[in-house]
């Protein structure tokens, strides 16, 4: 085991170090303290130790494509620049066959997963969303469908009259195998009210994932940070995810998402700092002791900071993606996707071992 390299006399930090190394769970107060601490090197190395115990030097990625059937959305979240109103310039709603044709034009050998999210389009029936998955599943049966956020599932219950379990079972019949992690934002109803997150509330987000886990599905989960939330809000968000994981063990990965400004021309002062991004990844690793993986999402934080994150607790760099739209609609300056070769280079450049995986973290190829 490595030793903490930064000298300090802070007894509180020493207590946290002892807790982590002893396998003792960190509290809300511990997490807030870590956010308030300026000792990012100690925090990062402690998170690195925690990750190495879980995953060794392996870092995971997947060959995937991001697909967006519609950007029409009834919600008006303050941070979103992806959504459009029906009939607004730039709005679209693709049918299943239209998406199949799009995929045929852009897919390449090796793609294992479709990552599917979109707007809450109430101008089409629930059956549209079912048929969308069915069309993809029939055309590309070898590709896993990881589709829809918990907020979308909640939306589907409202337009279908079904409950959460019935919606998930209907979608599974069409080919759904896993849920995406989006829609969590910050798990605080006060935050959601202020940020006009007029979609699934905290209890509903957790209920959807709980139900999916009860049905045997493994899912992802996120946290969108960097706006009006407090450090306590962020840590409490992590604790709520941790408690549900204690109950179901259904989450595969936690994805901290760095808030993007609404314009690519936004000044540096409108973006999260690299310091804040690395600290959030490290604290996520330390707080979420029961989730195997923390993802460094290069779409939000960039490729080089993603490399740094691999020594701050991260063990996943997402995937090839191909034409990501949501973060880029909100001002992301990063690539819209990377090739397998680039992802392998990125991970090896951080002194780690790249591992190509499937949706469920089964290892496909280890690039020693």
pLDDT tens for 17-72 read 999 999 999 999 999 999 999 999 999 999 999 999 999 999 999 999 989 888 88
Is 85 annotated as ligand-binding? Answer: no
- Indicate if the pLDDT at residue 325 is higher than 80: no
Cα–Cα distances in Å, from 287 out to 35, 267, 282?
12, 32, 9
Spatial contact of 312 and 45, defined as CB atoms under 8 Å apart: no
Q: What is the pLDDT of residue 330?
A: 41
- Indicate if the pLDDT at residue 235 is higher than 90: yes
Q: Which residues, 6 or more positions from 257, have their beta carbon under 8 angstroms from its beta carbon?
A: 222, 223, 224, 225, 297, 300, 327
Rounded mean pLDDT, 174-178: 98
Q: What is the pLDDT of residue 298?
A: 87
Rounded mean pLDDT, 287-293: 98
Q: What is the pLDDT of residue 188?
A: 96
In percent, how much of the chain has pLDDT > 70?
A: 89
Q: Could you tell me which of 321, 275, 273, 267 has the C-alpha nearest to residue 299? A: 321
Rounded mean pLDDT, 163-191: 96
- Indicate if the pLDDT at residue 80 is higher than 80: no
Give the number of other Cβ atoms within 10 Å of residue 20's Cβ. 20
pLDDT digits (tens, 9 = 90+) for 338-361: 888 989 999 999 999 999 999 999
The sign of the CA dihedral 259, 261, 265, 266 is negative
d(CA 270, CA 265) in angstroms, rounded, equals 10
The tokens for 350 are 């951080």
| Coil, helix or strand at residue 293 | strand
Rounded mean pLDDT, 200-229: 96
| Residue 306 C-beta-side C-alpha neighbours within 13 Å | 30
Is 362 annotated as ligand-binding? Answer: no
Rounded mean pLDDT, 198-208: 93
d(CA 222, CA 219) in angstroms, rounded, equals 10
3-state helix, strand, coil in the chain (%, to 5): 45, 15, 40
Spatial contact of 299 and 321, defined as CB atoms under 8 Å apart: yes
- Per-residue DSSP letter, 89: T
Helix count and strand count (H, E) for the chain: 15, 11
Q: Which CATH architecture has domain 57-366?
A: Alpha-Beta Barrel (3.20)
Name the band, by pLDDT with cuts 50, 70 and 90, for residue 259. confident
| Coil, helix or strand at residue 268 | helix
Q: What is the pLDDT of residue 72?
A: 84
Q: What is the pLDDT of residue 332?
A: 42
Q: Could you tell me which of 265, 268, 183, 273 has the C-alpha nearest to residue 226? A: 273
**Burial class (CB within 10 angstroms; exposed 0-12, middle 13-18, buried 19+) of 292:** middle
Rounded mean pLDDT, 230-245: 98
Spatial contact of 352 and 312, defined as CB atoms under 8 Å apart: no
* 81-90, 132-141, 221-230, 303-312: range with lowest mean pLDDT: 81-90
Name the residue with higher pLDDT: 229 or 263.
229
Is 122 annotated as ligand-binding? Answer: no
Cα–Cα distances in Å, from 75 out to 88, 119, 153?
15, 8, 14
The tokens for 341 are 């070769």
The sign of the CA dihedral 304, 306, 312, 317 is negative
Helix (H) or strand (E) holding 147: strand 144-147
Starting at the edge strand found earlier in the chain, the sheet holding 219-225 runs 219-225, 251-258, 293-294
């Amino acid at each position: 085991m490595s030793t903490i390299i930064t000298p300090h006399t802070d007894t509180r930090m020493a207590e946290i170090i002892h807790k982590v190394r002893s396998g003792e769970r960190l509290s809300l107060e511990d997490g807030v303290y870590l956010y308030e601490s300026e000792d990012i090197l100690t925090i990062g190395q402690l998170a690195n130790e925690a990750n190495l115990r879980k995953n060794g030097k392996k870092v995971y990625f997947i060959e995937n494509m991001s697909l967006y059937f519609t950007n029409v959305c009834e919600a008006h979240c303050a941070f979103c620049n992806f959504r459009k109103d029906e009939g607004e310039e730039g709005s679209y709603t693709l049918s299943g066959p239209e998406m199949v044709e799009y995929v045929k034009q852009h897919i390449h050998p090796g793609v294992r997963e479709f990552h599917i999210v979109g707007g809450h389009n109430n101008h089409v029936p629930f059956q549209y969303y079912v048929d969308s998955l069915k069309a993809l599943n029939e055309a590309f049966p070898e590709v896993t469908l990881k589709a829809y956020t918990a907020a979308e599932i909640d939306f589907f219950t409202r337009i279908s009259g079904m409950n959460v379990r019935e919606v998930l079972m209907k979608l599974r019949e069409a080919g759904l195998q896993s849920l995406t992690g989006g829609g969590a934002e910050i798990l605080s109803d006060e935050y959601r009210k202020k940020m006009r997150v007029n979609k699934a509330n905290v209890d509903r987000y957790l209920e959807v994932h709980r139900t999916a886990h009860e049905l045997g599905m493994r899912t992802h989960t996120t946290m969108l940070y960097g706006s009006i939330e407090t450090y306590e809000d962020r840590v409490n968000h992590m604790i709520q995810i941790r408690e549900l994981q204690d109950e179901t063990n259904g989450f595969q990965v936690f994805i901290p998402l760095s808030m993007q400004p609404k314009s690519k021309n936004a000044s540096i002062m409108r973006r999260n700092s690299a310091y804040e991004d690395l600290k959030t990844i490290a604290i996520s690793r330390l707080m979420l002791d029961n989730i195997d993986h923390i993802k460094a999402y290069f779409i939000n934080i960039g490729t080089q900071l993603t490399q740094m994150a691999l020594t701050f607790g991260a063990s996943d760099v997402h995937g090839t993606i191909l034409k990501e739209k949501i973060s880029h609609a909100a001002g992301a300056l990063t690539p819209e996707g990377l090739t397998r070769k680039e992802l392998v280079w990125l991970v090896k450049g951080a002194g780690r071992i790249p591992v190509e995986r499937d949706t469920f973290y089964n290892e496909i190829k280890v690039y020693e």
